[in-house]
């Protein structure tokens, strides 16, 4: 093999390695986060499970988890809406129905406190777009424990199961 060919091959390999590191940077960041912190993040008085391959961004008010493969997002805030559960449920169901979405509800429990999730195919609020522009494959789910915690999800239908795994795995820190 000539010297020029070896230099060209070496340049190609270096370019391939740099491209791979850039392309998979979110996956690498998620693996590093899990390596340093384990499979849980804490915010306020809660310990929250983080699914494998999800990266975590910690903010002043909570955490944001991002699926590195499908790009689903979970935002958890310790600053929830100050609604009573039934009033919030009625408000959200009415809003979704006006957009032509059939809302689905699911309750959950953290310690002795009951929360509620409302799911619909509207992502307009989270993306800041009009309902007509929404992508049919995206799902929005909002969950609250009144006066304690707010959880928002936006992502593909395939990320719904990991999302509910996160919600069901939230524990009060001791």
Residue 34 and residue 62 in one domain: no
Nearest to 136 by CA among 147, 144, 124: 124
Residue 68 and residue 105 in one domain: yes
Residue 89 and residue 34 in one domain: no
Residue 129 and residue 148 in one domain: yes
Nearest to 141 by CA among 127, 154, 159: 154
Residue 23 and residue 61 in one domain: no
pTM score of the predicted model: 0.73
CA distances from 110 to 45, 49, 146, 149, 166 (A): 11, 13, 12, 10, 12
Residue 29 and residue 48 in one domain: no
Give the domain extent around 73. 39-172
Q: Where are the alpha helices (DSSP H) in 80-142?
A: 85-98, 124-127
Chain centroid to CA 8: how far? 42
Sheet holding 40-43, edge to edge: 40-43, 46-49, 171-172
The number of residues making up the chain comes to 174
Structural domain count, the chain:
2
Residue 32 and residue 45 in one domain: no
Residue 53 and residue 139 in one domain: yes
| CATH code, domain carrying 46 | 2.60.120.1690
Summarised one tens digit per residue, pLDDT across range 58-103 is 888 889 888 887 668 888 887 666 668 888 888 888 988 888 888 8
Residue 65 and residue 117 in one domain: yes
Q: Is the dihedral of CA 46, 106, 92, 135 positive or negative?
A: positive
Summarised one tens digit per residue, pLDDT across range 95-141 is 888 888 888 899 998 888 888 999 987 554 444 544 443 445 678 89
Summarised one tens digit per residue, pLDDT across range 42-59 is 887 888 999 888 889 888
Residue 30 and residue 62 in one domain: no
Residue 47 and residue 27 in one domain: no
Residue 95 and residue 109 in one domain: yes
């Amino acid at each position: 093999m000539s010297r020029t060919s070896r230099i060209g091959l070496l340049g190609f390999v270096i370019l391939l390695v740099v491209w791979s590191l850039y392309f998979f940077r979110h996956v690498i960041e998620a693996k590093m986060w899990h390596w340093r912190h384990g499979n849980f993040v804490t915010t306020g008085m809660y310990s929250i499970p983080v699914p494998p391959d999800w990266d975590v961004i910690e903010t002043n008010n909570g955490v944001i988890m991002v699926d590195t493969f499908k790009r689903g997002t979970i935002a958890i805030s310790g600053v929830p809406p100050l609604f009573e559960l039934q009033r919030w449920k009625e408000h959200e169901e009415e809003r979704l129905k006006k957009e032509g979405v059939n809302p689905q509800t699911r309750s959950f429990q953290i310690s002795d406190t009951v929360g509620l999730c409302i799911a619909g195919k509207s992502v307009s609020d989270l993306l800041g777009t009009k309902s007509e522009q929404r992508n049919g494959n995206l799902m929005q789910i909002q969950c609250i424990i009144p006066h304690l915690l707010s959880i928002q999800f936006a992502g593909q239908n395939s990320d719904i199961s990991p999302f509910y795994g996160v919600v069901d795995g939230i524990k009060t820190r001791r």
